[in-house]
Structure 1
Amino acid sequence: MSAEFKGLDVTIMGREFRVACPENEQHSLLASVDYLDKKMREIRDTGKVIGIERIAIMAALNITNDLLSSRVPSDFDVGDFKRRIDALQAQIDQAMSEQDELF
């Protein structure tokens, strides 16, 4: 079953756009629109960047940099992380079972 796309009107920096979006993702899209609008207005308000296209590019670069900076480093070992979580879960289970024996 595929998601039904609907047109959604959004406003960014005073300009209206119609965006196709699955109905179940509209809330997420609106949050993204609010975030982008805020970032673009912050850039515009500095007065250093003029023109909607330049502001949009600067916002895209800033948001992309934030995203890439927040990613997990490439040397992160997911397998080791999962093993550690499993070991911690086993310790918790053991401690909980010992607590049950006290009562």
Structure 2
Amino acid sequence: MSNKQVEVNIAGQPYRFAIAPENEAALLEAVALVDTQMNKLRNGIAAKGVERVAVMAAISIASDLLSMQRKQQAEGAIPVDAIRARIRELNDRADEALRQYAHVGTGTRG
């Protein structure tokens, strides 16, 4: 199966990924999460360097993941309700990011 070229924007910067078509939805969800986190951080800090914001966003996302893993280990079970709530939140963020960037590649703004 051949890869598909997908162009996305993260914090106003274009990025192109070559991915298998069945992975496109997961990529777009991840992009939306990173973009949302970077924009939230960029708006809240004095230093606006993209690299600094990207690192801060990555740490924030990793911290959330590690927190969920620690909670799972402490409880000895998968926190299904917490995961479902987090997935709903991430889906909402992804929907918002996709609405914001729907015009990318179409030549129109929305």
TM-score (norm 2): 0.61
Question: Counterpart amino acid of 1:55?
Answer: V
Instruction: Tell me which of 27, 30, 37 is aligned to 2:28.
Output: 30
Question: Counterpart amino acid of 2:58?
Answer: A
Gaps of 5+ in 2: 79-110
Q: How many residues align?
A: 76
Q: Which has the higher contact order (CA 8 A, sep 6+)?
A: 2
SS at match of 1:50: coil
Counterpart of 2:65 in structure 1 is 67
Identity %: 32
Does 1:21 pair with 2:22?
no
SS at match of 1:73: helix
Q: Quote the offset at 1:31 in angstroms.
A: 1.3
TM-score (norm 1): 0.65
1:5-45 deviations in whole A, cap 9, x for unaligned?
A: 21111111111111111100101111111111110000010
Distance 1:34 1:60 in 2: 13
In the TM superposition, structure 1's runs of 4+ consecutive aligned residues that sit over 2 Å from their partners are 47-50, 74-78
Gaps of 5+ in 1: 79-103
Q: Is the 8 A contact 1:43 1:49 kept in 2?
A: no
